Amino acid sequence: MAAAEEAVKPVAGIDEGGGFDRRNTDWYIDKAVQGFVFLGGISAIVFIVGIFIFIGKEGLSFVFETLDLTEFFTSEYWEPSDEDEPEYGILALIAGTASVTGLAMIVAIPFSLGAAIYVGEFATGKTREALKVLIELLAAIPSVVWGFIGLVIMNPLIIQVFDVPVGLTVLNAGIILGLMAAPIMTSIAEDALKAVPDRYREAAEAMGATRWQVIYKVVLPAAKNGLLGAVLLGVGRGFGETMAVLMATGHAVNIPGSVFDSVRALTATIAAELGETAVGSDHYGALFTIGIFLFIITFIINLLADLVVRGVRKG
């Protein structure tokens, strides 16, 4: 017994009394690192709260002191630079964002879900890999480039094809945004299909179902929540898109009557006007108020998408 004690004594971390004390240098380093990575871990929360606090700080005094909230949401006049009586109504801007996002989803939902089904269920081997890589690359094209495409390629094309005077319209921005959102939605939808266990497919195939029957009767119902999540994330993405809609919508405050009308989006308004407003002015406060509105809406959409997707994981 005494010999054993003698033998372990030189080892760091064993104290005189024979008790076990782990607090050597490595232990302290370990604790320090744990603290550091914890800081990293909570950084996301800190930033989200920070975003809310800082845009709130710039916007809320305007909301409480000057703004008439009813007018803000129901007036279609956005005339912040009117010297006598500036008006801050975002109804037309909401209509602009909604119409563009809506059209984009009409374009993107069928194509992205269809593409996800092909890539995930029909395609095999090298074709599948190649398509996945291609779709991933398409998702990487920056939004300012999409806006540029809307401006110089889609614009003349729309004028020519539909014989209309302006090509920077809901149609243009909707198609651009649809093309932009589709690859991302495809990837998420494909993940949702992949999350359906193979044994479901095998069971159906063993019963003699064809591949389409397996997809239609088994895979799609099982992946339904994940697919809905993909659509929601696409909506959130369309809602928050800035540069592309700034460049392709025509940027005219207007409640659209058809897809050939120019509109202006919430995001684009901030992007176009923030540079020319004085810090602390009403106009500046109004732009931050739009920011708060956008933040809340996208927060809700993202939260919903997350809840829906998690629902499928649990079930």
Partner 1 sequence: MFEVSALNKSNERVEKLYRTLFLMMVVLLIAPVLIILSTLVVKGGSVLSFEFLFTNPTDGMTAGGIFPALVGTVWLVTVALLVSVPLGVAAAIYLNEYAGENWFTRFINIAIINLAGVPSIVHALFGVGAFVIFFGFGTSILAASLTLAIMTLPVVIVATRESLAAVPMAFREAMWNMGATRWQTIRRVVLPNAISGILTGVILEVSRTTGETAPIMFTGAAFFLPFLPESVFDQTMAMSLHLFVVSTQVPGVPEALPYGVALVLVAMVLVMNSISIAFRMYLRGKKKW
Comparing C-alpha atoms, which of 235, 216, 240, 202 is closest to residue 308? Answer: 235
* Interactions with partner 1, residue window 129-168 (CB under 8 A): 129, 131, 133-138, 140-145, 147-149, 151-153
Name the DSSP class of 154. Answer: I
Comparing C-alpha atoms, which of 237, 216, 227, 235 is closest to residue 194? Answer: 227
Beta-carbon contacts of 118 under 8 Å, excluding residues fewer than 6 positions away, are 131
Compare residues 83 and 246 and give the one whose CB is closer to partner 1.
246
Compare residues 166 and 271 and give the one whose CB is closer to partner 1.
271
Stretch that binds partner 1, among 80-88, 175-183, 188-196, 256-264 (CB under 8 A): 175-183
Burial 185-198 (b: 16+ CB within 10 A, else e): bbbbbbbbbbebee
Q: Does residue 22 sit in helix, strand or coil?
A: coil
Q: Shortest gap between Cβ of 85 and partner 1 (angstroms)?
A: 26
Q: Shortest gap between Cβ of 275 and partner 1 (angstroms)?
A: 6
* Interactions with partner 1, residue window 7-46 (CB under 8 A): 26-27, 29-30, 33-34, 36-45
Tell which one of 187, 225, 242, 249 touches partner 1 (CB under 8 A). Answer: 242
* 169 interacts with partner 1 by CB under 8 A: no
Q: Does residue 78 sit in helix, strand or coil?
A: strand
Q: What's at 26, amino acid-wise?
A: D
Q: How many residues does the structure list for the chain?
A: 315
Compare residues 106 and 133 and give the one whose CB is closer to partner 1.
133
Q: Is there a contact between 97 and 242 (Cβ–Cβ < 8 Å)?
A: no
Q: Shortest gap between Cβ of 210 and partner 1 (angstroms)?
A: 5
Q: Is there a contact between 184 and 116 (Cβ–Cβ < 8 Å)?
A: no
* Interactions with partner 1, residue window 204-233 (CB under 8 A): 210-213, 215, 233
* Interactions with partner 1, residue window 266-295 (CB under 8 A): 267, 270-271, 274-275, 279, 287-288, 291, 294-295
Distance from C-alpha of 295 to C-alpha of 53, rounded to nearest angstrom:
11
Q: Shortest gap between Cβ of 136 and partner 1 (angstroms)?
A: 6
Q: Does residue 18 sit in helix, strand or coil?
A: coil
Q: Shortest gap between Cβ of 106 and partner 1 (angstroms)?
A: 14
Binding mask 92-131 for partner 1 (x = CB under 8 A): ------------------xxx-xx-xxx--x------x-x
Distance from C-alpha of 172 to C-alpha of 180, rounded to nearest angstrom:
12
Q: Shortest gap between Cβ of 232 and partner 1 (angstroms)?
A: 10
* 249 interacts with partner 1 by CB under 8 A: no
